[in-house]
Amino acid sequence: MAVANPPAETTEASSAKKPGGGFGWAALFFMGPAGLLLLVFLVFPAFYTLALSFNRGRGGEFSNWVGFDNYVRLFTNDPNFLRLGFPPAGALWNNVLWIVFYTSLCVLLGLVIAVMATRVRYEALIKAIVFLPMAIAATAVAIIWRFVYFPSSETGLLNALLGIFNLGPVAFLGSPDTVNWALIAVGVWGSVGFATVILSAAIKGISSEVLEAARVDGANETQIFWRIIVPMVSLPISVVAVTLIVNVIKLFDLIYVMTAGGPGTSSRVIAFSMYQEAFPAGQFGYGAAIAIIMLLMLIPVMIFNVRRFRTEAVQM
């Protein structure tokens, strides 16, 4: 009795899975260029920076190994990076202020605008207006707001408005007490549109039957917002928050254009300090240590995001 030959597709699939078959070489061929780019532009620079952070790094070269001296200096003997006391100061503290206030304000305002926009006829127009700053380059945003904050009452738009009420002029960018809050306000203006668009899409995914059932049960709009809408869009909120935190940790252009870290060093952030120490000052080892601190700040954020996605996937 003759045995029927197996289908051609089965034979080809089994041969493709065999060791040494064509499947492995095809995968290597397509993944190789991407892997090479990652090695050259991501893995190698990361290890090079890590090694350089334990060296003086004068001129970007390995000249004098100093161990953990750069890190000890960062946290104990560099008031421009961290000055303990009350109130704290330094680039690290300024980044903490940005993370707390910039992120929370962007998420809160984006959520409120997204909820309110869904209840009016001109939802698309409102979203377009709010999202418009995202289409402007960060350098252009900084230049625009330099004119808004300009200390002269004849030039600065905000001081001109305050002058109407005899409240100005105020040196928003010229005083250590106001400069960071003025910069955070610019950051919120530029990023709240991103949060609005993402959260608006998430809110539209909530079933209207759930909201109507809550209203029938006697819940007011405030209770619906905090007890139904916010929990149901918690995953998009965390994604937006993580994205904003990453943007804050690598924040550079806005500070560089608007204040150059001033007045003095009161508005420095970590990325700007890394640039300042590595390039103008020529202390590449010290700048590399600051870069590693940035990396260490990003790792917990990424771990939290990955775990949150896995938890949501299990629940679904």
Query: What pLDDT, on a 0 to 100 scale, did the predictor assign at position 118?
Result: 87
Residue 86 pLDDT exceeds 50? yes
Q: How far apart are CA 270 and CA 98, in angstroms?
A: 11
What is the DSSP annotation of 274-293?
Answer: HHHHHTTS-BHHHHHHHHHH
pLDDT band at 5 (very low <50, low <70, confident <90, very high): low
The tokens describing 45, both together, are 């620079």
H runs (alpha helix) in the chain = 8-17, 22-38, 44-52, 69-76, 91-97, 103-117, 123-131, 138-149, 157-164, 179-204, 208-216, 221-224, 230-232, 234-249, 253-258, 270-278, 284-315
Q: Report if pTM > 0.75.
A: yes
Residue 10 pLDDT exceeds 60? no
Instruction: Convert the pLDDT of each residue in 104-139 to its tens digit.
Output: 999 999 999 999 998 888 888 999 999 999 989 999
The 3-state DSSP class for residue 6 equals coil
Q: How far apart are CA 127 and CA 196, in angstroms?
A: 7
Q: How far apart are CA 44 and CA 36, in angstroms?
A: 10
Residue 73 pLDDT exceeds 50? yes
Query: What pLDDT, on a 0 to 100 scale, did the predictor assign at position 23?
Result: 55
Residue of 17 and 225 predicted with greater confidence: 225
Using only C-alpha atoms, the chain has a radius of gyration, in whole angstroms, of: 26
Helices 138-149 and 179-204: crossing angle in degrees, nearest 10, is 130
pLDDT band at 251 (very low <50, low <70, confident <90, very high): very high
Instruction: Convert the pLDDT of each residue in 300-309 to its tens digit.
Output: 888 888 887 7
Using a pLDDT cut of 90, give the percent of the chain over it: 59
Residue 143 pLDDT exceeds 50? yes
Q: Indicate the range of 1-10, 96-105, 189-198, 245-254 predicted with least confidence.
A: 1-10
Residue 78 pLDDT exceeds 90? yes
Query: What pLDDT, on a 0 to 100 scale, did the predictor assign at position 154?
Result: 65
Contact partners, residue 256, CB within 8 Å, separation at least 6: 142, 272, 275
Residue 291 pLDDT exceeds 60? yes
Query: What pLDDT, on a 0 to 100 scale, did the predictor assign at position 313?
Result: 55
Query: What pLDDT, on a 0 to 100 scale, did the predictor assign at position 199?
Result: 94
Query: What pLDDT, on a 0 to 100 scale, did the predictor assign at position 12?
Result: 47
Q: Give the residues across from 89 on adjacent strands.
A: 83
Contact partners, residue 299, CB within 8 Å, separation at least 6: none
Q: Indicate the range of 65-74, 241-250, 281-290, 300-309 predicted with least confidence.
A: 300-309
Q: How far apart are CA 159 and CA 170, in angstroms?
A: 7
The 3-state DSSP class for residue 58 equals strand
Residue 315 pLDDT exceeds 60? no
- Domains in the chain, please, with CATH? 77-315 (1.10.3720.10)
Residue 217 pLDDT exceeds 50? yes
pLDDT band at 16 (very low <50, low <70, confident <90, very high): very low
244, 106 Cβ separation under 8 angstroms: yes
Query: What pLDDT, on a 0 to 100 scale, did the predictor assign at position 136?
Result: 92
Q: Indicate the range of 164-178, 228-242, 300-314 predicted with least confidence.
A: 300-314
